[in-house]
Chains A and B, each alone.
Chain A
């Protein structure tokens, strides 16, 4: 493939970087990234990856835009309230960069469709807000051997962690299984300072680009936690856990399954269906 003059201008600030150059920009243009969730983390991640010239961005989300999303889900604008999130996202991405192919899936990411959805992609980004979905994405990426950039946010805090299956620690190496139902609140129950989604989502995009380009030190075997109240990052070194139920020496998880949805999310009155 070769770039047009317009594309060379568009990506000139990348091409100027010795670590990227024309060769790296081609890698970016040929890359396919799957973003699970077109919300708080998926918005900044997808926007920056689109601006960077990622060849194909896949977006899966079954939700429609709610007014309470606009405080942080920057892919969606006020007139989008009530519209499909993936449709809204696709329009914004095309406006930003028509070079990008956007594949949209107005669907839930489940144990039965996960493998098919991620198969064509090079890197997966976790932008979901339930523990069952986070563990499902981790497991699917392990079985499909796809690099995963995990993200999590709550209140004033966020976390990023990259996983290269069979090489670095996975989400289950650390957390094993979801917390007991009702113990850890979700963003809709506990709140989230909107910009933290932007900070964590853009770090996820950064790590995705690094994985595609093969440059720098990936955020593997270390967890990066951010606290906006202190404006402080904390890095926690980790490594593969021999007792991990998924990638350990004697795995007990040998196929995809879904953990039960947190009971609090099903029982909180008035909070149904909105994330």
Chain B
């Protein structure tokens, strides 16, 4: 199936958001995740399903300022 990750369409097999994170080798503690503009809570990453055509955004923490 095809999902759009951070604006880029990608072909991959995944049932849940957690599968997508694993596929991209991203530690779930490092990011906030949006599915179709809705924030997915960290405790729901492995129970939230992804479907063909979904848009997923990974927002990495960015803590600098000085």
A-side interface residues toward B, CB under 8 Å?
A: 37, 39-42, 63, 69, 73, 126-131, 134, 151-154, 157-159, 173-176, 178-180, 183-184, 186-187, 190, 192, 223, 225, 234, 236-239, 241, 243, 275
29 contacts between A and B (CB under 8 A): A37-B66, A40-B66, A127-B65, A129-B66, A130-B63, A134-B65, A152-B62, A152-B65, A153-B65, A154-B64, A174-B39, A175-B59, A176-B32, A179-B30, A183-B30, A184-B30, A184-B60, A184-B63, A186-B63, A186-B64, A225-B59, A234-B7, A236-B34, A236-B57, A236-B59, A237-B37, A238-B37, A239-B38, A241-B39
Whether the Cβ atoms of B59 and A223 lie closer than 8 Å is yes
Most buried by B among A63, A151, A179: A179
Whether the Cβ atoms of A40 and B41 lie closer than 8 Å is no
Task: Give the CA-CA distance A225 to B34 in the complex, in Å.
Answer: 15
B28-61 contact mask (Cβ, 8 Å, vs A): 1 or 0: 0110101001110110000000000000010111
For B34, the chain A residues whose CB sits under 8 A away are 236, 238
Q: A175-B32, A179-B29 are in contact. Are A153 and B62 (CB under 8 A)?
A: yes
Which of A40, A225, A241 makes the CB contact (< 8 A) with B65?
A40
Which of B29, B42, B57, B66 makes the CB contact (< 8 A) with A187?
B66
Task: Give the CA-CA distance A234 to B27 in the complex, in Å.
Answer: 21
Whether the Cβ atoms of A42 and B62 lie closer than 8 Å is no
Whether the Cβ atoms of B66 and A41 lie closer than 8 Å is yes
Task: Give the CA-CA distance A187 to B65 in the complex, in Å.
Answer: 8
Chain B residue total in the interface (Cβ 8 A): 21
A-B contact count (CB 8 A): 92
Is residue B6 contacting chain A, with contact meaning CB distance below 8 A?
yes
Whether the Cβ atoms of B66 and A176 lie closer than 8 Å is no
Which of A152, A175, A225, A234 makes the CB contact (< 8 A) with B64?
A152
Whether the Cβ atoms of A174 and B65 lie closer than 8 Å is no
Whether the Cβ atoms of A39 and B30 lie closer than 8 Å is no
- Report A80 CB to chain B, min CB distance, Å: 15
- Report A201 CB to chain B, min CB distance, Å: 9
- Report B35 CB to chain A, min CB distance, Å: 12
Whether the Cβ atoms of B65 and A176 lie closer than 8 Å is no
Whether the Cβ atoms of A243 and B41 lie closer than 8 Å is yes
Q: A179-B30, A192-B64 are in contact. Are A174 and B59 (CB under 8 A)?
A: yes
Task: Give the CA-CA distance A268 to B9 in the complex, in Å.
Answer: 39
Whether the Cβ atoms of A176 and B59 lie closer than 8 Å is no
Whether the Cβ atoms of A187 and B59 lie closer than 8 Å is no
Task: Give the CA-CA distance A134 to B32 in the complex, in Å.
Answer: 15
